Amino acid sequence: MTQPTAPARRIAVPDLAAKRQAGRPITMVTAYDWPTGRLADAAGVDCVLVGDSVAMVVAGRTSTIPATLEQMIYHGEIVARAVSRALVVVDLPFPLQHLGVRTAVESCARILKETGCQAVKLEGTAGQADVIAGLVAAGIPVMAHVGLRPQAVHQLGGYRMQRDLDAVTADARAAAEAGAFAVVLECVPREAARVVTATVGIPTIGIGAGPDCDGQVLVMHDLVGLSFDRVPKFVRAYADAKTTLADAIGRWRADVESRSFPGPAETLG
Ligand code: KIV
């Protein structure tokens, strides 16, 4: 198995631009708790995202809309403590990027101060450029998120591909001009991702956006096969954790019921 080449220091925001410049793919995966944070960091990814997808894959909600600032801070603090090498990014939950620059700065400052993460991510269109600029002016590194914006799922009519090349390009460009250090492109056609990546000037990190982005991000539970909902077509599962865990729990239950657990090795005294 290939061992990750781990630099001694933590990945910093400028390192992503350097990787883009060098043509080396950027990797980001979500984590929501201490074990997944530790595992992601040990695997050598560049960024660990404490996504508001926590509302779906951990809390079983049908969208990310219910995620609250308190929940993001709770999960963000745990993950930031677990991760020592990767850049930790925490999502700004709905609707805090839509309530003006002051609310966004107050909310993101709480995220940075109370979690110990290094950056925030926020979903938005060109309409949120002033908010990104305000955060950057306050010294808060911002990763933008355009294309399919899951917090706008009801407005967009579902979790579907965003085919408007002009809109995706305009949103990504506005985010870059406002000072975002990277942009997530979610569920956009390969050609849109290619054009944005070639023209936007900051690293693009794709999910369901094809291979031409500067990097890729996946939701941890999709990647390891621990998702209960229908998994999107763009996911590749590298494990079947759901089967592995269910099998382990089932075998333990059977051992208890047959009185073969606990055995002598698990009996103290
Ligand atoms: O919340 C999340 O997990 C995300 C990824 C899908 C990029 O925003």
Phi and psi based region of residue 225 (left: phi greater than 0; alpha: psi -120 to 50; beta: remaining) = left
Token pair, residue 73, equals 């801070």
46 lines ligand 1 (CB under 6 A): no
Q: Where are the domains of the chain?
A: 13-238, 240-269
Q: What's the CA dihedral at 99, 100, 105, 108 to 10 degrees?
A: 30
**Residue 77 parent element (H or E):** helix 69-82
The pLDDT tens digits of the residues spanning 148-196 come to 999 999 999 999 999 999 999 999 999 999 999 999 999 999 999 999 9
207 lines ligand 1 (CB under 6 A): yes
Distance separating alpha carbons of residues 14 and 230, to the nearest angstrom: 36
219 lines ligand 1 (CB under 6 A): yes
Catalytic-residue membership of 186: yes
CATH class of 13-238: alpha beta
The pLDDT tens digits of the residues spanning 217-236 come to 999 999 999 999 889 999 99
Distance separating alpha carbons of residues 98 and 107, to the nearest angstrom: 12
Question: pLDDT tens track of the chain, all 269 residues?
Answer: 666 655 459 999 999 999 999 999 999 999 999 999 999 999 999 999 999 999 999 999 999 999 999 999 999 999 999 999 999 999 999 999 999 999 999 999 999 999 999 999 999 999 999 999 999 999 999 999 999 999 999 999 999 999 999 999 999 999 999 999 999 999 999 999 999 999 999 999 999 999 999 999 999 999 999 999 889 999 999 999 999 999 999 999 999 999 999 999 999 98
pTM for the full predicted model:
0.96
Of the listed 186, 191, 257, 266, which one is catalytic? 186
In this structure, are strands 87-91 and 47-50 parallel, antiparallel, or unpaired? Answer: parallel
Residue of minimum CA distance from atom 2 in ligand 1: 51
Distance 90 CA to ligand 1 centre (A): 10
Distance 195 CA to ligand 1 centre (A): 22
